[in-house]
Structure formats: structure tokens, C-alpha cells
Amino acid sequence: MNDTVLDVSDLHLHRGARPVLAGVSLDVRRSELVAVMGPSGSGKTTILRAIAGLERFQAGRITVDGIALAGGAAIPAPTLRELRRKVGMVFQFHCLFEHLSAIDNVCLAPVHAYGVSPARASQRALQLLAAFGVEHRAMAMPSQLSGGEAQRVAIARALAVDPPLLLMDEPTASLDPERRAELGALLNGLRRQGRTLVIATHDEDFVQEWTTRVVRLRDGVIEPAPRSA
């Protein structure tokens, strides 16, 4: 059985003449929590965006749970649709839909993109919100949520369609230490349930404490680095 959930090989991505990723390879297995680290502008976020199908790349290959994206041409729409089921993404600024309540944010994609009945979608959304300790905020609008609450709703939204791979961009950026520990525990729990996570972060302490592996990006390539604790 192939345990690899994410396979990035020799990924090249440039914007105009400027290379952003110059041959990145990365292999992530089921139940790993991998941190991509590196200085600002090193391409951490870009890798996540490419995996989520938000960036075109010029060469290389990304495979997520059997769905392969090839460099060069635009990604065909059917491939992109399949990819969306496989990858969930939580943005640094959460990007909740401002006009919908927390629970409606979570239910939007299951109901409209995957044809789940509204009743079942709500039930599942409440379970997710409860699992992350924000079910009492289900009817709140995004502008009424704290940073930590908004992040949990965003995670619930990404997991509502049950993707095997979850990407998070700078998840600890707006959290105080206490909330950071709670997030670590939450992600760890997801990992134990068999979810695979890749996060882009600056946060050495968080990485030391919670992730299973660190890769470091510098100048568009992954540095050979010792395994973290």
C-alpha cells in the first residue's frame, strides 16, 4: 500500500523572469504534520498555493492522493475538480465569507459543490464546530469572531468536504501562546485521525513542539536539513 499522500517532484515556478521555486521536491505521507519553513519570500506560501491548484507552474509534477498535476499547461478543469476534494486550504487571514454566518461558511461547499442535503451538511458542520470548540459561535458573523475562532471556523470549512490533505498558511501568526498550544493540540488530533497536514510557518517553537518533520526553503529549493525532533 502506498502511504504517500503528497508527492511534489522537481517543481519549477517563476513569475515573469523571477524564479520562485527552482526544483522543489517533497514527499509527505499519511498522518504526517510537515512544516515548510524559510525566510519571507522564500516560496513557502507559493508551494501551498501550487498544491491547492491556485498557481500555474512551469515544470515538475504534483500528485495528491492519486491526482496528478503536470507543469506547463493550465490544469484541466476535471482534474482541478478532483483535486478540490483532496486538498483543503486554510489561508493566513482565514478568508471567511463575510456575508455568511460561521455555520453557513462551513455548509456552503458541501451543499453547492457536492450536493449534500442542507440538513446533513448542517449536522456535519455542527459536529466539526463542536470538535473545535466553537459550536456556540455557529450563528455568529465572521466580523464578530475573534482571530482564533475565525481560524477554527476556517479549518472546519476546509474539512467539511473531508479532504485527506490539509494545507495551512501561517496558522500561528495571529495567535497568542495559549491559543497556539490549543491549535497545536487540535492539529495533532487531526493527524492522529489519519489526516495529513502541511503548514507554512515562521514559528520555530510551534514547529519544535508539534510537527513531525520540517523542510526548509531557501532561494526556491529545499535545503538538506536534519530531521527535527
Q: Which parts of this chain interact with another protein (CB under 8 A)?
A: 52-54, 81, 84-85, 87-89, 91, 93, 95-99, 108-109, 112-114, 141, 143, 154, 157-158, 160-161
Cβ(218)–Cβ(27) under 8 Å? no
* Nearest residue to 158 via CA among 88, 207, 208: 88
168: which DSSP letter? E
Cβ(173)–Cβ(148) under 8 Å? no
Least distance from another protein to the Cβ atom of residue 224, Å: 31
Query: CB-wise, 109 or 131, nearer to another protein?
Result: 109
Least distance from another protein to the Cβ atom of residue 27, Å: 22
- Tell the residue number behind the cell numbers 442542507, with chain if given: 118
CA distances from 189 to 106, 136, 213, 218 (A): 20, 21, 16, 30
**102-114 vs 118-131: helix crossing angle, rounded to 10:** 130
Query: CB-wise, 97 or 185, nearer to another protein?
Result: 97
Query: CB-wise, 94 or 184, nearer to another protein?
Result: 94
3: which DSSP letter? -
Query: CB-wise, 86 or 180, nearer to another protein?
Result: 86
Residues 15-36, buried b or exposed e (16+ Cβ, 10 A)?
A: eeeebbbeebebebebbbbbbb
Query: CB-wise, 88 or 184, nearer to another protein?
Result: 88
